[in-house]
Structure 1
Amino acid sequence: MVKQIMSDFAAVADFVVVYVAEAHPTDGWAISGHLSMDIKQHRSLEERLAAAEMLALHDIPCPILVDTMDNAAARAYAAIPDRLYIVLDGVCVYKGEQGPNGYHPEEVRDWLQKFSG
């Protein structure tokens, strides 16, 4: 659904993904049958970059940025395991709840529709 939103609103907004610590590493809190890739807990920036490169293989239609190993972005935005934000002119105008239960891409779609309407 998020990829479709990125496609539908490409003329209205710039999108980025910030890849943070892996939510379900295979050597940590993995969900059986849920993983399509073997991604271990990142022990170096190189490992995190390699995991982000695997994400890029899924045709993510925007730049993928990578958090530092001290998880500065994840801490600043409370983004583990995932979270959606809309930033307009340097101001956060939409802050979704933390995922997975609070991850609601349709709220982003609604906001963008109102903004671009």
Structure 2
Amino acid sequence: MHPDEWALKNNVHIKKHQSIQDRLTAARRLLEESPSCPVVLDSMKNLCSAKYAALPERLYILQEGKITYKGQMGPWGYKPEEVRFILEKMD
């Protein structure tokens, strides 16, 4: 869900968040769509985004709140087979 930024097919349209209440409302709306991943909420200062931002894009694996895998810069440095191998070893 990217408020007022991206126009993707089947995207849920949400106005840009002006308050933490806006973010809570957006998160609840997203949960109504039954996503296949956890939904988390960042602060209005975007602290998590700043700490974990993948710019340039990267593949990460987080385990118990810690980064256990940080891939190379994407999209050319993506190694999904490496991620799959690590995730399978976690089972």
**TM-score (ref. length: structure 1):** 0.53
Q: Give the 3 Å change call, closer, same or farther, for CA 96–35 of structure 1 in structure 2.
A: farther
List alignment gaps of at least 5 residues for structure 2: none
Same amino acid, percent of matched pairs? 37
List alignment gaps of at least 5 residues for structure 1: 1-21
How big is each residue's C-alpha offset from its partner over 1:58-94, in whole Å with a ceiling of 9 and x where there is no partner?
22355422000000000011157x8653234664211
More relative contact order, 1 or 2 (CA 8 Å, 6+ apart): 1
In the alignment, which residue of structure 2 is the partner of 1:75? 50
Counterpart AA for 1:43: Q
In the alignment, which residue of structure 2 is the partner of 1:45? 20
For structure 1, which segment, 55-64 or 68-77, has the greater mean C-alpha deviation from structure 2 after superposition?
55-64
**TM-score (ref. length: structure 2):** 0.64
The RMSD of aligned alpha carbons is 3.3
Aligned residues: 87
In the alignment, which residue of structure 1 is the partner of 2:87? 112
Q: Give the 3 Å change call, closer, same or farther, for CA 48–115 of structure 1 in structure 2.
A: same
